[in-house]
Structure 1
Amino acid sequence: MIMPTLTPVQVTLPESKEPTAKNVQDIIATFLTREWPYVDIKALTVTYYKATCTNLHVAVERPPPTSIAATEPLKVFIKFHDSNTEDVKIFKHLLPTEYEEMILCHEYSRFGLGVKVYGFFETQDGTIGRVDEFLDARNMEPEDVENSEIRADIARGLAAFHTMETSLPRNPVVSFYNALMGGLEKYRGMDKLKALGKEGGVNVDNLIHYDLVGKLKRVVEKLKSLSAKEAWCIHDVQYMNVLVKKNPEEGESKITLIDFELVMRNYRAFDIGGHFMQKMFKWFGVENKVADCRKYTEKEKEHFCEEYAQEWNKRTGDSDTGNQIFRESEYGYMLAIAFDLHNMLCFMANEDDKDTLNLLALNKLFHEFLGQYSRLGLENIP
């Protein structure tokens, strides 16, 4: 396997770490050498945004040449990595490094599954990043999964990622749950969190006092009893991390998965159940974090799991059934909720967050956990 190389670039970012137009042109021109070095900087359109709490993304567009046909892309995408992951620091020993995440992107893209990567770079001040193709795409909306073609492509995309061969170390799944349970226990009964809820006008006392660790242990034991299979899970399957292509070519997947900062070994059920759960949330909504749409139906889940099973089997030689994967996903639903609950409680504690919309979403997650736990009869297990 050919490993990606970090190319030094003669760029030092400003103290703010927000690159100038000259910075981004110099980075791009390191990899796209025929036309990008000669573009007038004043003609560049540079758009900055933070897709996550840690990483800056920059879209850069140039005008087409006037005398010849363009031989290089007119628009590219740069991701600058930032290792500040305070909200998931308990998983730091399991998470990929910035360079290892680049390896994942490289391995995913070279099979035609992800965006094309033009190059990986390191600036003079030690910031690393990558230059990608710019997809003519939009972030997925919850309603998109009601389209059977898009839903099937997401299922196949997840199965492809889950079964991907990678050079990352295969940490045992138990390491993830030891870390998660330790983190959840830290916030149980915490007066500060209850006070923040009251200040934000939302009572979260029931969640704060709930024995999530004890319940999570039962969920994990149930998955073990089902011989649930492990995979490279993305863990951040909220819908902003799925791009829906506007004009895919015939036979091409309509979606692309992005953002692999949280990739770890886990039960594949985590991502599948998490995908079903995330349909109810729009984490970047300005008026409501809970999506105004219906939940995933049983029929839609079954279709997703059938498509996933076919792709998984094609890539592994297994003979898993859609029903088998559906059963696993029912418990994975709660695993994903517990992870999100931990991360939101961590953010509350660290940032004194008392945003009412966040608190309402927190309670929504909690009630989803309670409902699923009861529906599957786990409360009756001695």
Structure 2
Amino acid sequence: MAIKKMTSLIPSCSSPEDLKRVLQTLGSTWGDVVEDLESLEVVPLKGAMTNEVYQINWPTLNGQDALHRKVLVRIYGDGVDLFFNRDDEIKTFECMSHHGYGPKLLGRFSDGRLEEFIHARTLSAGDLRVSETSDLIAAKLREFHELDMPGPRNVLLWERLRTWLKEAKKLCSPTEIGEFRLEAMGDEINMLEERLTRDDQEIGFCHNDLQYGNVMIDEETNAITIIDYEYSSFNPIAYDITNHFCEMAANYHSDTPHVLDYTLYPGPYP
């Protein structure tokens, strides 16, 4: 990946002065890093689907060429507010950061934020099918579902599906609406809600997007970290587990990232 100086990152941000101010505030809080922001090295990170993500390597005052501080800069993508509420996502991230879950929030600017850089590897599509890794994810997801998050414990799934369907109809041509059978999806959502809603279903705080790119593993300790909470909300935990199983059929780094291979869907546990 190309390493660039700080000036190369600024054009990606609509509020460069705001970003600089937040970085300067963070640097003064640390007290052991150089003040010249132009000496920061910026590494674009691949894999993010809704944002631009960068690793910043920040030289220390006594580190010579060694880079002792790392920060992750997340610049929010355009148009993604159609899929989730950005204000709710920021509140969720702040709450989880406050309680020590996931990366720490280091600062915010108008169209992005600074996060703790996690020294771990993002999973690949194949990693999800390794039974030992799947066990670790299951344990971490159980913790996620038991988080005591603020707000009403209302199921958001069905409302969100209807909202996405409404937006899809606005954006698609008549041909595309017919090709993707959008006119029939409203009735399908109603049918699924009626059949799947039960009084005894367990409701918990769900990630709702547990694809391999949102799971990181520390290969020294095997610690799992779940990241990116844009779609997180209260939902039936059975839905969250099923959605994760569906993600095992996806490979977003292939020539056909939108096509799911359901032969890869997990079978009964051996």
TM over 0.5: yes
Matched positions, count: 256
Name the CA distance, whole Å, in 1 between partners of 2:261 and 2:206. 27
CA root-mean-square deviation: 3.7
The percent of aligned pairs where both chains have the same amino acid is 22
Are 1:77 and 2:77 matched, yes or no?
A: no
Please list every run of 5 or more consecutive structure 2 residues that lacks an aligned counterpart in the other structure.
1-8
| Cα 1:190–1:153 shift into 2, 3 Å | same
Name the CA distance, whole Å, in 1 between partners of 2:10 and 2:115. 22
Partner residue, 1:31? 26
Q: Aligned AA for 2:44?
A: Y
| Cα 1:163–1:86 shift into 2, 3 Å | same
Name the CA distance, whole Å, in 1 between partners of 2:227 and 2:90. 12
Instruction: Please give the residue correspondences for 1:207-246 in structure 2 after superposition, counting only pairs within 5 Å.
Output: 207-208=180-181, 211-225=184-198, 227-246=200-219
* SS across alignment from 1:165: coil
Superposed CA deviations along residues 233-281 of structure 1, whole A, max 9, x for unmatched, are 2222222111222333xxxx53211111222322222221110001111
Q: Quick one: which of 92, 114, 136 aligns to 1:131?
A: 114
Task: Give the greater-gyration-radius structure (CA).
Answer: 1
1:135 Cα deviation after fit: 1.7
1:282 Cα deviation after fit: 2.0
1:106 Cα deviation after fit: 3.5
Return the TM-score normalized by structure 2.
0.75
1:120 Cα deviation after fit: 2.6
Q: Aligned AA for 1:233?
A: C
Q: Aligned AA for 2:228?
A: D
Instruction: Please give the residue correspondences for 1:290-329 in structure 2 after superposition, counting only pairs within 5 Å.
Output: 290=259, 295-300=264-269
Q: Check the 8 A contact 1:138/1:245 in 2, yes or no.
A: yes
Q: Check the 8 A contact 2:13/2:111 in 1, yes or no.
A: no
Instruction: Please give the residue correspondences for 1:29-178 in structure 2 after superposition, counting only pairs within 5 Å.
Output: 29-33=24-28, 34-36=31-33, 38-49=34-45, 52=48, 54-63=50-59, 65-66=61-62, 73-81=68-76, 84-88=79-83, 95=85, 97=87, 100-117=88-105, 119-122=106-109, 127-167=110-150, 169-170=151-152, 172-173=154-155, 176-178=157-159
Q: Check the 8 A contact 1:242/1:257 in 2, yes or no.
A: yes
Q: Which moved more, 1:43-52 or 1:144-153?
A: 43-52
* SS across alignment from 1:275: helix
Name the CA distance, whole Å, in 2 between partners of 1:85 and 1:171. 24
Q: Check the 8 A contact 1:116/1:133 in 2, yes or no.
A: yes
1:23 Cα deviation after fit: 7.1
Partner residue, 1:372? none
* SS across alignment from 2:268: helix
* SS across alignment from 1:274: helix
Q: Check the 8 A contact 2:27/2:35 in 1, yes or no.
A: no
Partner residue, 2:240? 271
Q: Aligned AA for 1:130?
A: R
Instruction: Please give the residue correspondences for 1:1-20 in structure 2 after superposition, counting only pairs within 5 Å.
Output: 17=13
| Cα 1:25–1:191 shift into 2, 3 Å | closer
Q: Check the 8 A contact 1:54/1:82 in 2, yes or no.
A: yes
| Cα 1:166–1:226 shift into 2, 3 Å | closer
* SS across alignment from 2:162: helix
* SS across alignment from 1:225: coil
| Cα 1:292–1:265 shift into 2, 3 Å | closer
* SS across alignment from 2:114: strand
Name the CA distance, whole Å, in 2 between partners of 1:182 and 1:28. 37
Name the CA distance, whole Å, in 2 between partners of 1:181 and 1:121. 31
1:82 Cα deviation after fit: 5.4
Q: Aligned AA for 2:251?
A: K
1:131 Cα deviation after fit: 2.4
1:143 Cα deviation after fit: 1.7
Name the CA distance, whole Å, in 1 between partners of 2:187 and 2:59. 58
* SS across alignment from 2:251: coil
Superposed CA deviations along residues 28-65 of structure 1, whole A, max 9, x for unmatched, are 331242122x2544532112357555433221003455
Name the CA distance, whole Å, in 2 between partners of 1:262 and 1:234. 6
**Higher normalized strand content (fraction of residues):** 2
Return the TM-score normalized by structure 1.
0.55
Name the CA distance, whole Å, in 2 between partners of 1:143 and 1:294. 13
Name the CA distance, whole Å, in 2 between partners of 1:282 and 1:26. 38
| Cα 1:272–1:54 shift into 2, 3 Å | same
Q: Check the 8 A contact 1:102/1:120 in 2, yes or no.
A: no
**Higher normalized helix content (fraction of residues):** 1
